[in-house]
A and B are shown apart, each in its own frame.
Chain A
Amino acid sequence: MNFLEKKERRIFMKEMKKVFVIIGFIGLWIFLCHHMDLVIAKDPDYPTKPINYYIAFGVGGTTDLTSRAFGDATSKYIGQPFVHINRPGAGGTLTAMAVLSGKPDGYSLGICSPSNVFIAPFSDESPYKDLSGFTFIANFGNYVYPLMVRTDAPWKTWKEFIEWVRKNPRAAKIAITGARSVASQGFVLWQVEQREQVEFTYVPMKSSAEILSATLGGHVTMYGSTVDPSTVPYLQEGKLRILSYLGAHKTPGYENVPSLPELYGPEVAVPNLLGVFGPKGLPDYVLKKLDDAFAKAVKDPDFVSVMNRMYTPIVYMDRAQMNKYIEELLPKVGKVINVIKAEEAKGKK
């Protein structure tokens, strides 16, 4: 086989040499810049450029739109735009990773939710096992999880439903977003199974839209996801009925339906969270500005109207409250998840 001809080889070597020279210059420049860094004093003015804002879920969804609204509202008060970057995936852990690896200079923030804060640290696949790498800054909302069935179904209350499930084990097909062991809905419903000594069948699906059509079409028994704006017309028209809620928050107009925490106790609830976090080590002057801007953004009329339109309750927690909340709730959630995992491991064998 004719390898490189002499002339070709010469050209090749020349090109490679040029590449190395260029790389060498860049290396030198970088080296100099790095050392410049130590000399110049830290810039205490924040923010002076746009802030990267990683959104943990896909474009157009409830989380995305409400997070964007919050980001836009905050930019009004902090003086720099929030650059919305969707980094969906792996239950929000891709956003968490982006935040973890960002510089703690306040220009790299992300959205935190039940899945990347409470569920991820206990999951085998997760890249982080504790939350020490994060700074939790503010919470702005909470999710509502109505458990809905078609109105032509025989059960009018949660109790009736449970009785039916007891007599028909595994006949209830509850559609949730994600696998039981990784989804926050699974976490709650498993506890119900334990307390009531019943067995559900979980049908994981990719999105609430899929779950909604499956429920309406009668393919699954129950809708077990967040309140999607699409679901509201069906509720209002009487095609769907809410049997209970996976958390403390209820859909406006349907408050008379008991939620699972009301029925079983406060631990049987989704560890609700929808807020902003950043990497650890954020300097005080950054945090102060953010705290301030977030507190104002939560009351901003544009933000409020978006939250209302998306049927997402506004729940504000400042840094102290948020940290306390997470610190208290995390170990409780961890305990339950570890029990679930142990059970599944036993079941596998």
Chain B
Amino acid sequence: MDVFQNLISGFSLILQPDNLFFCFIGVFIGTLIGVLPGIGPVGAMSLLLPATYKVSPLASVIMLAGIYYGAQYGGSTTSILVNIPGESSTVVTCLDGYQMARQGRAGPALGIAAFGSFIAGTLALIGLMLVAPPLASIALRFGPPEYFSLMCLGLTILIYLASGSIIRAISMAAFGVMIGCIGQDPETGSSRFVFGIPDLLDGIGLAPFVMGLFGISEVFINIEQSLKGSKILETKIKGLLPNWQDWKDSIKPILRGSVLGFFLGILPGGGAVISSFASYAIEKKASKHPEKFGKGAIEGVAGPEAANNAASEGAFVPLLTLGIPPNVVMALLLGALMIHGVTPGPLLIPKHPEIFWGVIASMYLGNIMLLVLNLPLIGIWVQVLKVPYKVLFPLILLFCLIGAYSINNSTFDVAIMMVFGVVGYLIRKYKYEGAPMVLAFVLGPMLENSLRQSLLLSDGSFLIFFTRPISAGGMIVTFLMLISCIIPAFRKKREEIPMEETT
């Protein structure tokens, strides 16, 4: 088969020493960058970009790509160990991963994250190889109305994210949308809730927001108690790798997450963050014990981790087949290719097949390298949990502070992180949740933009959402999902009201 022949030629390219070398460097740096909160693959890639000028285009892309999907592997580490998302796409992993760590199950959590990422990465690659071009043309058919219905669907996911009161979860979401929309109005240029601060004109950054809301608030909550001799680990360490039961629980989430992540990653603006949230919600809905989520359910780690890796590889589809980057990282990769004189686009595969197949082969290898790199590290990471918290928390704080600063070399981002650290702290004290706020923060502005763009396209008519096939489909599914949640929720609420009274 043509595909296999090409793949084999791709492998023969990647097995050359300098390509191998750059692949390894890329995934290694990627993992490290992922572990460090704040600084993300974009920062590292832009720093290393000049170093790639003297190297072949294939080697450059291999390295830069390795940084990107490598970061998805490393990002879950701090999420699980200290409840600080290393990457925005690993916020959801904090929810159950951290609880698992406190119960002594950090090893299985880290392990299933690594394995899940590997399986997802491999599956996504198969997708990339086989169905990339036709998928890409479907992606083009997504215009503003389609995005709007997708966002609506996304917001219904919120309902599943909540582990406490739904009213409070939706309140958090409403607030999240507001925070996400702060800045300059894209349509009229007027500033909204900027309070005269120029740095706010572009809105609040996702990374400082998330780091503050989850990471800093966690430190605050912890130092309230006396820290004498306290550590994160509440009990003994139970094993370093997932056991048989863990695997049985996780395999379906991993498979579902891979498929979900891959398709969401193809869409511009979709990406790893949204797919991780979506996977969490789906797993919660599909699980026979949804109440375990939020308390250390391994499905809540396996699914999202698989999803975010699959999404990062799905993002290559529009880049390599259409030449259109679906997110900032891909845009950088595009620039790197351009500088080397390779123009991605519909002609990439015919004109430069070695780039396409070489990258794919490198990703197979890269995923294997990442698994081999990450698994032994689990033993080391788990030791972190044993460090006395009074020594650990200053380090955690420092890494968050530096991490936030390094995103844009701005102390303003650090200030934002601190503000949301306080917000997160207060929220948790008063029994509200942060996860719905994060999802709404990401989806809200996209929802608004697609709504207004769609109305501009339709000259004000709302029919546009229902006359176009994909969009109409999305709206119907959203409606159905809403109905299917609200009706049982109503019944539950009647019981919940007296229950909440006594908590």
A97 in the interface, Cβ–Cβ < 8 Å?
A: yes
Binary interface encoding of chain B residues 444-467 relative to chain A, with 1 for a CB under 8 A from any of its CBs, else 0: 000001000100110100000000
Q: How far is the CB of B474 from chain A (nearest CB, A)?
A: 15
Identify 27 residue pairs between A and B in the complex whose beta-carbon atoms are under 8 Å apart, listed by A's number: A59-B328, A59-B332, A60-B329, A60-B334, A60-B335, A60-B336, A64-B335, A65-B335, A85-B409, A86-B408, A86-B409, A89-B199, A179-B185, A181-B189, A213-B318, A216-B324, A219-B457, A220-B143, A220-B457, A229-B334, A230-B322, A233-B347, A234-B345, A237-B345, A237-B346, A239-B346, A310-B338
Given contacts A94-B202, A97-B198, A230-B345, contact A87 B409 (CB under 8 A): yes
In the assembled complex, which residues on chain A have CB atoms less than 8 Å from the CB atom of B140?
Answer: 213, 216-217
B184 touches A90 (CB 8 A): yes
Bound together, the chains give a CA A88 to CA B199 distance in angstroms of: 10
Q: How far is the CB of B141 from chain A (nearest CB, A)?
A: 6
A178 touches B189 (CB 8 A): yes
Give the B-binding residues of A (Cβ under 8 A). Answer: 58-62, 64-65, 68, 72, 84-90, 93-94, 97, 123-125, 127, 170, 173, 178-182, 201-207, 209-210, 212-214, 216-220, 229-230, 232-234, 236-237, 239, 302, 306, 309-310
In the assembled complex, which residues on chain A have CB atoms less than 8 Å from the CB atom of B457?
Answer: 173, 201, 203, 219-220
A201 touches B456 (CB 8 A): yes
B187 in the interface, Cβ–Cβ < 8 Å?
A: yes
User: Which of B194, B199, B456 has the most C-beta atoms of chain A within 10 angstroms of its own C-beta?
Assistant: B456
Bound together, the chains give a CA A59 to CA B39 distance in angstroms of: 14
B222 in the interface, Cβ–Cβ < 8 Å?
A: no
B268 in the interface, Cβ–Cβ < 8 Å?
A: yes
B331 touches A94 (CB 8 A): no
B43, B45, B201, B334: the one within 8 Å of A230 (CB): B334
B46, B185, B188, B323: the one within 8 Å of A59 (CB): B46
Bound together, the chains give a CA A85 to CA B43 distance in angstroms of: 10
Known: A220-B457, A310-B338. 7 other contacts (CB 8 A): A59-B45, A60-B45, A72-B50, A88-B202, A89-B199, A213-B142, A230-B323
In the assembled complex, which residues on chain A have CB atoms less than 8 Å from the CB atom of B339?
Answer: 65, 306, 309-310
- Across the two chains, which residue of chain B brings its CB closest to A219? B143
Bound together, the chains give a CA A65 to CA B45 distance in angstroms of: 12
Bound together, the chains give a CA A223 to CA B194 distance in angstroms of: 30
In the assembled complex, which residues on chain B have CB atoms less than 8 Å from the CB atom of A229?
Answer: 323, 334-335, 338, 343
Bound together, the chains give a CA A62 to CA B332 distance in angstroms of: 10
Q: What's the tally of chain B residues with a CB closer than 8 Å to chain A?
A: 59
B74 in the interface, Cβ–Cβ < 8 Å?
A: no
Bound together, the chains give a CA A181 to CA B187 distance in angstroms of: 9
B187 touches A204 (CB 8 A): yes
In the assembled complex, which residues on chain A have CB atoms less than 8 Å from the CB atom of B191?
Answer: 125
Binary interface encoding of chain B residues 137-155 relative to chain A, with 1 for a CB under 8 A from any of its CBs, else 0: 0011111100000000000
Q: How far is the CB of B442 from chain A (nearest CB, A)?
A: 14
User: Which of A58, A72, A173, A213 has the most C-beta atoms of chain B within 10 angstroms of its own C-beta?
Assistant: A213
Bound together, the chains give a CA A94 to CA B198 distance in angstroms of: 7
Q: How far is the CB of A208 from chain B (nearest CB, A)?
A: 9
Bound together, the chains give a CA A217 to CA B138 distance in angstroms of: 9
Bound together, the chains give a CA A58 to CA B268 distance in angstroms of: 17
Given contacts A234-B345, A237-B347, contact A173 B456 (CB under 8 A): yes
- Across the two chains, which residue of chain B brings its CB closest to A54? B409
B410 in the interface, Cβ–Cβ < 8 Å?
A: yes
Bound together, the chains give a CA A214 to CA B144 distance in angstroms of: 8
In the assembled complex, which residues on chain B have CB atoms less than 8 Å from the CB atom of A72?
Answer: 50
In the assembled complex, which residues on chain A have CB atoms less than 8 Å from the CB atom of B331?
Answer: 58-61, 207, 209
B335 touches A182 (CB 8 A): no
Chain B 137-187 interface residues, beta-carbon cutoff 8 Å to A:
139-144, 184-187
Q: How far is the CB of B190 from chain A (nearest CB, A)?
A: 7
Bound together, the chains give a CA A210 to CA B322 distance in angstroms of: 12
Q: How far is the CB of B265 from chain A (nearest CB, A)?
A: 15
Chain B 299-343 interface residues, beta-carbon cutoff 8 Å to A:
318, 322-326, 328-329, 331-336, 338-341, 343
Bound together, the chains give a CA A111 to CA B333 distance in angstroms of: 22
B36 in the interface, Cβ–Cβ < 8 Å?
A: no
A233 touches B323 (CB 8 A): yes
Bound together, the chains give a CA A210 to CA B326 distance in angstroms of: 8
Bound together, the chains give a CA A233 to CA B202 distance in angstroms of: 31
B91 in the interface, Cβ–Cβ < 8 Å?
A: no
Given contacts A232-B343, A310-B338, contact A87 B408 (CB under 8 A): yes
Complex A-B, nearest 10 residue pairs according to Cβ-Cβ distance, in ascending order: A60-B332, A233-B345, A219-B143, A89-B202, A179-B189, A90-B201, A182-B189, A217-B140, A60-B331, A230-B323
- Across the two chains, which residue of chain A brings its CB closest to B341? A309
Chain B 432-449 interface residues, beta-carbon cutoff 8 Å to A:
449
B53, B325, B341: the one within 8 Å of A209 (CB): B325
A209 touches B324 (CB 8 A): yes
In the assembled complex, which residues on chain B have CB atoms less than 8 Å from the CB atom of A127?
Answer: 198
Given contacts A173-B456, A209-B268, contact A214 B189 (CB under 8 A): no
B42 in the interface, Cβ–Cβ < 8 Å?
A: yes
Binary interface encoding of chain B residues 51-71 relative to chain A, with 1 for a CB under 8 A from any of its CBs, else 0: 001000000000000000000
Bound together, the chains give a CA A239 to CA B334 distance in angstroms of: 20
B410 touches A87 (CB 8 A): yes
Bound together, the chains give a CA A306 to CA B338 distance in angstroms of: 8
B201 touches A89 (CB 8 A): yes
In the assembled complex, which residues on chain A have CB atoms less than 8 Å from the CB atom of B453?
Answer: 203-205
In the assembled complex, which residues on chain B have CB atoms less than 8 Å from the CB atom of A236?
Answer: 347
In the assembled complex, which residues on chain B have CB atoms less than 8 Å from the CB atom of A173?
Answer: 456-457
Q: How far is the CB of B454 from chain A (nearest CB, A)?
A: 9
- Across the two chains, which residue of chain B brings its CB closest to A186? B189
In the assembled complex, which residues on chain B have CB atoms less than 8 Å from the CB atom of A209?
Answer: 268, 324-326, 331
- Across the two chains, which residue of chain A brings its CB closest to B333? A60
